[in-house]
């Protein structure tokens, strides 16, 4: 204990310093709240999903501080190939992607998280404006403040919204009609929507793209069952921890006593539906108590499941057709060497 304290005190530079000088020079970023924020209605929906049989949760509840840290750890796992494959494609095909992006653009990161993925592109693309979108406001604020500090002269806007409804971005984008939008949607996050909902989201992005806008999007491809299973149920148990952490988040929202120790993580590869199904399986029969927004009790039988997320996988022609159907008629696609992942650049 003492040794630790001593070594920290002798290494003040080990603590990352905030670049206060550049923060004060930069315009402080604007935060726009577009989350239809009705905490009671949200809690009601959340509770209804849990009382239903089979029980279902919305994946947006994964991402509290702990969940965000666990997801970052997932992206470092050997088994979680989508993160590595996408990074490789962006590195290998950087110049040909860049050559097809509009100049003097507005760069819109759909689910920016810590902003790391956008930061790889910003110095190369040199957009006029950065719009970071995320449902977690605390995280979003930190990300946009950091980007504004590191790119003085770049207009930075943070928007809190989730993408489950058409993103309310039209008026924001119309403020800069001279800046073509580049929608950046990496990580195969589109796979967390059902194909119908995915098409709706793509349609609204196509509409928002106007004449000169583009969509740069990462897509995980259908592949063998064992690779998929390992990616979502890794040897270290990080995926399991990430999945079970959602129960702690739900406890805070619903004053509930869901016990993560009584649920096991399960990733089911459903080949017929082309998706991986993330579930939490009750390991024994027990009751769970909810105190908000109303008192309720639900019993779980041993083996009963809570579905937390679907992760749909596509074929290249399948996703190209979905894009075309949503109005994106011009398309480029790049894949990695094993063809397990694809990056599309699409324009109306």
Stretch of 6-14, 168-176, 210-218, 239-247 contacting ligand TRP, by CB under 6 A: 239-247
Kindly identify the residues of this chain, within the stretch 148-167, that bind ligand TRP according to CB under 6 A.
Answer: none
Q: How far is the CB of 72 from ligand TRP (least distance, A)?
A: 11
Q: Residue 49: which residues within 8 A CB-CB, separation 6 or more?
A: 55, 56, 57, 58
Choice between 160 and 189, CB closer to ligand TRP:
189
Q: Could you tell me how many residues of this chain bind ligand TRP (CB under 6 A)?
A: 13
> Among the candidate windows 140-148, 208-216, 236-244, 336-344, which touches ligand TRP by CB under 6 A?
236-244
- Write each residue from 309 to 348 as x if it is in contact with ligand TRP (CB under 6 A), else as -, in one continuous string: x-x-------------------------------------
Which residue of 68, 160, 189, 245 would you call a contact of ligand TRP, by CB under 6 A? 189
Q: How far is the CB of 147 from ligand TRP (least distance, A)?
A: 23
**From the CB of 154, what's the least distance to ligand TRP, in Å?**
28
Please say which residue, 161 or 311, places its beta carbon nearer to ligand TRP: 311
Q: Which residues lie closer than 8 Å to 206 by C-beta, 6 or more apart? A: 215, 326, 327, 328, 348
Q: How far is the CB of 116 from ligand TRP (least distance, A)?
A: 16
- Please list every residue from 55 through 114 that binds ligand TRP, using CB under 6 A: 74, 82
Residue nearest to ligand TRP (CB): 311
Tell me: cis bond preceding 62? Omega within 30 of 0 counts.
no
Separation CA 334–CA 102 (nearest Å): 18
Residue 130 lies near ligand TRP (rule: CB under 6 A): no
- Determine if 300 is a binding residue for ligand TRP (CB under 6 A): no
Q: Which of 185, 232, 319, 344 binds ligand TRP (CB under 6 A)?
A: 232
State the nearest-atom distance from the C-beta of 4 to ligand TRP, in Å.
33
| CA 191 – CA 112 distance, rounded (Å) | 16
Three-state SS string over the chain comes to CHHHHHHHHHCHHHCCCCCHHHHHHCCCCEEEECCCCCHHHHHHHHHHHHHCCCEECCHHHHCCHHHHHHHHHHCCCCCCHHHHHHHHHHHHCHHHHHHCCCCCCEEEEECCCCCHHHHHHHHHHCCCEEEEEECCHHHHHHHHHHHHHHCCCCEEEEEECCCCCCCCCHHHHHCCCCCCEEEEECCCHHHHCCHHHHHHHHHHHHHHHCCCCEEEEEEEECCCHHHHHHHHCCCCCHHHHHHHHHHHHHHHHHCCCCCHHHEEEEEEEECCCCEEEEEEEECCCEEEEECCCCCEEEEECCCCEEEEEEEECECHHHHHHHHHHCCCCEEEEEECCCCCEEEEEEEC
239 binds ligand TRP (CB under 6 A): yes
For ligand TRP, the closer of residues 278 and 323 by Cβ is 278
Nearest distance, CB of residue 284 and ligand TRP, angstroms: 22
CB of 59 to ligand TRP, least distance (A): 7
| Residue 74 or 125 having the CB closest to ligand TRP | 74
Instruction: Select 43 or 280, whichever has its Cβ closest to ligand TRP.
Output: 280
Q: Is 250 in the site for ligand TRP (CB under 6 A)?
A: no
- Binding-site ranges for ligand TRP (CB under 6 A): 74, 82, 189, 191-192, 232, 239, 242-243, 278, 308-309, 311
């Amino acid at each position: 204990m003492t040794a630790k304290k001593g070594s920290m005190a002798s290494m003040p530079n080990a603590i990352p310093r905030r670049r206060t000088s550049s923060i004060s020079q930069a315009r402080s970023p604007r935060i726009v709240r577009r989350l239809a924020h009705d905490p009671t209605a949200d809690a009601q929906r959340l509770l209804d999903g849990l009382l239903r049989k089979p029980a279902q949760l919305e994946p947006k509840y994964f991402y509290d501080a702990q969940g965000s840290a666990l997801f970052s750890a997932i992206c470092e796992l050997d088994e979680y190939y989508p993160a590595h494959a996408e990074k490789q494609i962006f590195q290998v095909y950087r110049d040909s992607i860049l050559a097809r992006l509009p100049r003097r653009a507005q760069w819109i990161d759909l689910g920016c998280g810590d902003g790391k993925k956008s930061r790889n592109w910003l110095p190369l693309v040199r957009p006029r404006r950065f719009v970071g979108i995320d449902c977690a406001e605390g995280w979003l604020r930190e990300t946009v403040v950091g980007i504004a500090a590191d790119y003085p002269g770049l207009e930075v806007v943070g928007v809190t919204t989730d993408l489950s409804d058409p993103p309310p971005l039209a008026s924001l984008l119309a403020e800069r009609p001279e800046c073509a939008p580049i929608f950046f949607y990496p990580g195969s996050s589109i796979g967390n929507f059902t194909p119908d909902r995915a098409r709706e989201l793509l349609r609204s992005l196509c509409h928002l793209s106007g004449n000169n806008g583009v969509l740069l999007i990462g897509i995980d491809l259908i592949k063998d069952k064992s690779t998929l299973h390992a990616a979502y149920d890794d040897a270290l148990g990080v995926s399991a921890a990430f999945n079970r952490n959602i129960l702690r988040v739900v406890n805070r929202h619903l004053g509930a006593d869901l016990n993560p120790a009584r649920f096991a993580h399960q990733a089911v590869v459903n080949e017929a539906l082309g998706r991986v199904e993330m579930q939490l399986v009750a390991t024994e029969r027990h009751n769970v108590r909810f105190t908000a927004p109303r008192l309720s009790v639900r019993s779980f039988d041993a083996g009963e499941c809570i579905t937390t997320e679907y992760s749909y996988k596509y074929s290249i022609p399948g996703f190209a057709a979905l894009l075309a159907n949503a109005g994106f008629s011009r398309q480029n696609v790049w894949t990695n060497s094993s063809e397990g992942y694809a990056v599309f650049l699409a324009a109306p």
